[in-house]
Structure 1
């Protein structure tokens, strides 16, 4: 924004329900107090329009008017990239307010609303729904008082929410609804589908930035459910109001709620300032392994984003934005529990995801890592979907280019990035038996084994005692429990660096599929290939782990075979897992990565499935 630019606050328009139209304007007083209470300006300097149309909701036998309901504007539904932008704004509101909750509803509350429409108290509502002349009068009265251009925040209570929804497609074309908030709305009830309104609102509208509905379980008009039952693109949130039915439905009670004030305040004023305060501003807080992993993952994704274009770039940017917000929030929460200050590298990545116009800061360069450590980390990063639950397939050429730049800017050299992709492709060919197999299939599966084991075993993976005692996960997983980060990053640092026994634990876990076992073998074999290529003398570690895994698979296969049916899928899975390990061991042996027996304390016994060949020594 240029210096000296004038910021115009949208006009707040309130549409009332049945009765005389909230003449005391208690809703406004409560809302203004709520805005100030949570850090927004009050309504003192906001233009507030409160059209009164109560008289127009009554039948007048002597009236000679013949108004027509204003026509709907054409071409107002969204599609393509515009729809993606709407989803982004809606997701931002959910981030700001909490999780969508449309409620369960029920036969009794539904019947209460349906029967209530027939009561004398609700004759005004019945008139609006059934009398086209009255409906036209109400629309005309409201439109006469609205601006013809600019921005408004629209707030509708009870019947006013129905009137407001009916007006959306009839507003002047230059007038934009910056935010639409409904409270105590009966729109979930089919009787309020005036003039096939639900069909007209089946998709988001181009003149509405977002629509948030608040309902209360003690509000009989809301019938224990939200508006998204009828209009699927509405965000529903449950709030508490008085247990007494009358006050529980009142606009005064709803507008006293901080969540309602938050939504309206954001529509009127935008995002409040948000920043992380470091405990020691002059102290350089060192990054732990989990924080480094997050920085590296986000940086790699950003390098991918730079190369994407069009619709693919917009979708990827949205997914990356959501991922960055989730990861930074998780780090902040975890560090707060541990009393650990936030490193400045993490603090600078924080932003207000509840504001769709707030830019997500660009991740900085990855901290330097020795080649041996970097190879393991980068293999983890590219071997899993970092943007889960979103799935966006990026061409391998772009991923290679992004990783090449990543390794170049971290002083590892661009060839390291190319080597990692080559090793993955080679390992996939060994495991699948085809050099043309897509390694990304195994990348998607790769999250599963460790994630499921972590979810069932807490913050540590226990190795089989006969292998290496109890091996705990490195500091990365210890920093993020199963209830924290979603998707691949919950297992950061576990697939490759957990140490001896991680593969064995996966093989024997009943929650893991053969595909997940294959994914672990692909990643371990890739690591051995990279170690050999870069002359890191650790390839024997992978051989030993594969050999031990094979021995245990044979043992489990024999134990299960003696009891199970010969056609058992479990037996077939053991055979496939055994075959996978065989191929991996053969590759290691053929390429000089099988250790000599003189290096072993106790030579492993030959198995029926693979004859181990001892190397000749001088």
Structure 2
């Protein structure tokens, strides 16, 4: 393994101050240093200052198979794994899905970077010269390639101008070199300070030959102008890091714990082998059993998809599974007891579905899945027929009557159809009839499975434990009026409440659909549902009355409340039509309300 460092402008880092900063930080983090003998740092600063240096750019070595859609999908999966090498760090913020989206911007993010006239002008000038002089680019790229070994594994790091050089180099590497991690720091590539388009710079990215790409940037770096690279390259993962006040030097970046950890963990990455958990076990809970059911449902959906869609769906499922597995390993290291099935999952096998649910509970679970997007935040349209077949497959695996799937499908269509015919235009609900999802199921936080009094460091530090105060448990506790429902609706409600002010209304759609499916199968259903709907309608009506006297008549918030009240009213009407009302509560039948 070699660490290849491509320097920015200036003296080219020949004094190795950047390496000393990196190893000093690694020592503070308790991580192994990078041996100097394993560092390759080509020097090309003199070429930038010399006129007349010219050479043709080497040919691109990226193969068609290495850059196709399938290779890219696998690369994106590895990106999620790469982010875990950063972890939750007070001096770093992961941007995008998988990041700490709810933590807010720390104080160090505030404040725009300001140009230091001398240094910034010099950097911009050298970058412009490199980018706009094809001959100079060719000469520098050839020199860098000449310093690399003919084969083996490397961690490739490019700082400032070096990140531009690295992008040129990475698509021209020898075929026997594997890039275990590509890291750019202080990169100006997304800035318009030079004319070259990002598309021209990286037209042939070798997805199959690069494990992952992390871009570290400081919001106070005048060369990056506080911006990452995701606006220029869709496949990079940006990480905003704190390197102090306005700064750009490589040693300042390497002195950041997130940057140093990303380098070291890729460089010293242990060879893959069989891992075994300590098997501190506990019984399944409603939440962990639901997660296993969801995973089996995902694989059943995948089996029914066509080739193109199937490949993308499989990658989304793999990402979701790997996220959960990583949490299981973290929890295992903390000594948190987990169900036997989760230990099996962590060790690479999909556990069999447990005989955990009564038919009543199972219908509710499967109804939520039928109305859900189990690969959120990714969105792939799945035909309702494929969804129904997936439900049927899960029922068969559990030894239950597969015809239950037809009842669930009919209940979903009838509730959605009734709402549409009633003039409801609430987008997510109206879309159900087209086979789309109204619920985005978030990844399961292990805070939900921790025994009382043992939250576990993994559950508290995982970037996926984002259901609100106290993790998922806290999220569920904030949802009122659903105590009579099972784990599936309760968990979905906790997730939706975070995502939308109309979450309670969407929860009622789930509850009504599940209750209708249960009733048509002769199973128990939520007897308190009609009363809960009435209570919710009263709450929303009171809010409408309070706002309508002062707010504009077409105020968006007011209009949304009116639509939500209408949905609840139609759901109540549907319950009465289907005779799913506790007579002791309503005192009337639907027919009574329609008589003269």
TM-score normalized with structure 1 length = 0.67
CA distance in 2, matches of 1:605, 1:446: 33
Shift in CA distance, 130/321, structure 1 to aligned 2, threshold 3 Å: closer
Q: Pick from 10, 18, 32 the counterpart of residue 27 of structure 1.
A: 18
1:216 paired residue number: 218
Tell me whether 1:498 sits opposite 2:483 in the alignment: yes
1:304 paired residue number: 301
Offset at residue 154 of structure 1 (A)? 1.9
State the secondary structure of the residue aligned to 1:182. Answer: strand
Offset at residue 69 of structure 1 (A)? 4.2
Shift in CA distance, 58/532, structure 1 to aligned 2, threshold 3 Å: closer
Q: Which moved more, 1:389-398 or 1:257-266?
A: 257-266
2:340 paired residue number: 344
Structure 1 segment 65-464 matched on structure 2, within 5 A: 67-70=55-58, 78=67, 80-97=69-86, 99-101=93-95, 106=112, 108-109=114-115, 114-117=120-123, 128=130, 134-148=136-150, 151-172=153-174, 175-193=177-195, 196=196, 198-201=198-201, 205-206=205-206, 208-217=210-219, 219-241=221-243, 243=245, 248-270=247-269, 281=279, 284-326=281-323, 341-350=337-346, 361-433=349-421, 439-440=432-433, 444-445=437-438
Offset at residue 443 of structure 1 (A)? 7.0
Offset at residue 411 of structure 1 (A)? 3.5
CA contact (8 A) 1:30 1:255 kept: yes
CA contact (8 A) 2:382 2:436 kept: no
CA distance in 2, matches of 1:566, 1:58: 67
1:146-190 deviation digits (Å, cap 9, x = unpaired): 345555332223332332233334444665544322233343443
Offset at residue 289 of structure 1 (A)? 2.0
CA distance in 2, matches of 1:594, 1:158: 67
Offset at residue 285 of structure 1 (A)? 0.9
1:215-273 deviation digits (Å, cap 9, x = unpaired): 33555544433344554543332333365x7xx54434433444223333454454688
Offset at residue 498 of structure 1 (A)? 2.9
Q: Is there any run of 5+ residues in structure 1 with no aligned partner, and where?
A: 1-8, 352-359, 452-458, 460-478, 614-618
1:465 paired residue number: none
CA contact (8 A) 1:184 1:215 kept: yes
Q: Pick from 595, 598, 604 the counterpart of residue 587 of structure 2.
A: 604
Tell me whether 1:48 sits opposite 2:39 in the alignment: yes
CA contact (8 A) 1:495 1:520 kept: no
CA contact (8 A) 2:160 2:187 kept: yes
Offset at residue 286 of structure 1 (A)? 1.7
Shift in CA distance, 290/594, structure 1 to aligned 2, threshold 3 Å: closer
Shift in CA distance, 381/497, structure 1 to aligned 2, threshold 3 Å: farther
1:309-345 deviation digits (Å, cap 9, x = unpaired): 42222222222233334556778999999x9633332
CA distance in 2, matches of 1:421, 1:82: 36
CA distance in 2, matches of 1:169, 1:582: 62
Offset at residue 524 of structure 1 (A)? 2.0
Offset at residue 205 of structure 1 (A)? 0.9
CA contact (8 A) 2:467 2:475 kept: yes
CA distance in 1, matches of 2:38, 2:85: 25
Offset at residue 381 of structure 1 (A)? 2.8
Shift in CA distance, 484/85, structure 1 to aligned 2, threshold 3 Å: farther
2:455 paired residue number: none
State the secondary structure of the residue aligned to 2:214. Answer: strand
CA distance in 2, matches of 1:533, 1:381: 18
CA contact (8 A) 1:215 1:226 kept: yes
CA distance in 1, matches of 2:217, 2:529: 57
The higher-RCO structure (CA 8 Å, 6+ apart) is: 2
State the secondary structure of the residue aligned to 1:387. Answer: coil
1:468 paired residue number: none
2:452 paired residue number: none
CA distance in 1, matches of 2:71, 2:147: 30
CA distance in 2, matches of 1:178, 1:198: 23
Offset at residue 365 of structure 1 (A)? 1.2
Shift in CA distance, 608/79, structure 1 to aligned 2, threshold 3 Å: same
CA distance in 2, matches of 1:170, 1:289: 52
CA contact (8 A) 1:184 1:222 kept: yes
Structure 1 segment 491-570 matched on structure 2, within 5 A: 498-499=483-484, 517=505, 520-521=508-509, 523-534=511-522, 536=523, 548=534
Shift in CA distance, 105/141, structure 1 to aligned 2, threshold 3 Å: farther
CA contact (8 A) 1:349 1:363 kept: yes
State the secondary structure of the residue aligned to 1:109. Answer: coil
Q: Is there any run of 5+ residues in structure 2 with no aligned partner, and where?
A: 88-92, 97-108, 423-429, 443-447, 449-464, 495-499
CA contact (8 A) 2:189 2:198 kept: no
State the secondary structure of the residue aligned to 2:292. Answer: helix
TM-score normalized with structure 2 length = 0.69
CA distance in 1, matches of 2:466, 2:59: 55
CA contact (8 A) 1:184 1:216 kept: yes
State the secondary structure of the residue aligned to 1:444. Answer: coil
What is the root-mean-square deviation of aligned Cα atoms in Å? Answer: 5.2
CA distance in 2, matches of 1:56, 1:540: 79
State the secondary structure of the residue aligned to 1:153. Answer: strand
Offset at residue 294 of structure 1 (A)? 1.8
1:473 paired residue number: none
